[in-house]
A and B are shown apart, each in its own frame.
Chain A
Amino acid sequence: MKLAHAAARSAPLPQAEAAPMVAFEAVTKRFGSNGQDQFTALDGIDLSVARGAITGIIGRSGAGKSTLIRLVNGLEKATSGRVVVDGVEVGGLAESGLRDLRRQIGMIFQHFNLLSSRTAFENVALPLEIAGLGRQAIRNKVGPLLDLVGLGDKAGRYPSELSGGQKQRVGIARALATSPKLLLSDEATSALDPETTQSILALLKQINAELGLTVLLITHEMEVVKTIASDVAVIDRGKIIEKGRTFDVFTDPKQETTRALLSGLAGAKLPEAIARKLAATPQAVSRAVVRVTFFGETAQQPLISKLIQELGSEVNIIAGTIDEIAGEPYGSLVISYAATPEVLARAERFYRETGLQTEVLGYVA
């Protein structure tokens, strides 16, 4: 049995390589005994986490994110459905099998969960001690890991002597100690300031690229997903309501909850003063207010100056953002121009020809 497993790993079948690292199949999790106090945390989750990718699960607090990520390493058990990690069903494992699986899965936490009685070095050494490695083997592993996370000079420091960002770096080094194939991140940047968040995210991205490590992260911050996740799933009240490539979901959210989570990102917001005056239909002297979205090809071209020439009318830029989502450029501008029939027709033609995505928000006098 053990031999067969080793052989399968050294010579993987092509399909096995393509199989997801983590698959949730119709997973439901209820807390409490039957009756009124029962609470359904997760309800029919179907989701797969691609090998080598960074997948983000975003949702409000209480949406079920934490429960979902804890199913992967068996800290929680599914009430029904299957959770499969690298071909192994987590729910079918006995305690010892579960411990073996956990040694192949690293995890980092919102509050770092470092032992205050151990130095940075000793904290990183802990999972190796637990796995039964010798003193010398541990020393050989921990040093390079602390270097990797940029804390080579802080090995002898206690967590209380480190900043939040440094603590999370120790947490990351610790999670990588047993050379896992999967890294779980439980709100790892939620307790950090924006600048530190960015540096931790850059580190995770680097590790993902250099070690080919699959990363599954949960967060309530769209900034995190936008910055590093190639794929995203949106969870709300225990259900996955939207999933796909981060760029697609973020630039074209289908669900109201997704839009709410993305507010501030999904294109420029209309200034309050203009939003109040907005009418649904054009009047005699009104101006059209239009949101123009650029991405992919269109983000690279000087389309606004072309639009102005084409319309033969003044174009007013009301609001706008230029950004990058999952590494792809993305821009959104809210502009206004005269709502006369001929200008509107010319605009319509221009948008058709260039393939710009537009949305008429309304008309102002």
Chain B
Amino acid sequence: MSPDMLFNLLLKALSQTLQMVAAAGLIGSLIGLPVGVFLATSGKGELFPAPVSNRIIGAIVNAARSTPFIILVVAIIPFTRLVTGTSIGTYAAIVPLTVATIPFVARLAEAAIREVDKGLIEAARAMGATPLQIVFKVLLAEAKPGLTLALTLTLVSLVGYSAMVGAVGGGGLGDLGIRYGYQRFMPDVMLAVVVVLIVLVQAIQSLGDALARRFDKRSRKT
């Protein structure tokens, strides 16, 4: 394969991967974050006590997270078709990716929010804050570094998941590696795909770490 051809293939695959990761990451986080807040604040004796709903949603989240992604992809094909009108292609692949992202983000966000010192919640209550004020002014503000790292981890995982949606014609880097690198036995394509993936993941992680460090005021800097 000529370098030109390889470059064009890589570019197209990269743009598909980025589209899938960005769209699923964005929509999945927008839905997953509130679910995570709910999970972190709806236990018995917490801000919005709803232990029954908490347990039900927790169980759904667990079920979704324990379903292998490739099975999730085929299992929700009817739903995918309902949303996008098709079950194959990059746009169609965004649906299962988003569905998998929601519980992932929810659990990570819950963990980050639960890390916030309970004393801060008590202090805010003592000031006369409403539960919603506590969520926005205390919990989300204090959990910002943790939430940033959670989001970073989500994006990195999405890059990995997106490699599997070649199964439904989603395209992307993973798909390129399987079809050219493995099935047509072109090790140079495989190597190029792996290198691009490493650089992509590295970039996401570094950016996330830098942002988290900036948000984190807990360590003394002198």
Contact = CB atoms under 8 A, between A and B. Distances in A.
Given A116-B142, A160-B219, A75 B128 contact: no
A118 interface: yes
Contacts of A139: none
Interface string B180-222: 0000000000000000000000000000000000010111111
A102 B127 contact: yes
A115 B142 contact: yes
Interface centre among B127, B217, B222 (most CB of A within 10 A): B127
Contacts of A161: 220-222
A129 B122 contact: no
B222 A131 contact: no
A159 B138 CA distance: 15
Contacts of B6: none
Contacts of B137: 126, 129-130
Contact of B128 (A102, A159, A174): A102
B119 A113 contact: yes
B75 interface: no
Interface residues of B, number: 25
Interface in B127-141: 127-130, 133, 137-138, 141
Contacts of A115: 120, 138, 141-142
B122 to A, nearest CB: 6
Contacts of A98: 128
A56 B130 CA distance: 30
B141 A109 contact: no
A126 B220 contact: no
Contact of A160 (B125, B127, B218): B218
B127 A116 contact: no
Nearest to A123: B123
Interface string B127-171: 111100100011001101000000000000000000000000000
A98 B144 CA distance: 29
Given A102-B125, A115-B138, A130 B133 contact: yes
Interface of B: 117, 119-120, 122-130, 133, 137-138, 141-142, 144, 215, 217-222
5 contacts: A75-B125, A75-B126, A100-B128, A113-B123, A160-B221
List 8 A-B pairs, minimum CB-CB distance, nearest first: A102-B128, A113-B123, A103-B128, A99-B128, A113-B119, A127-B127, A158-B217, A107-B126
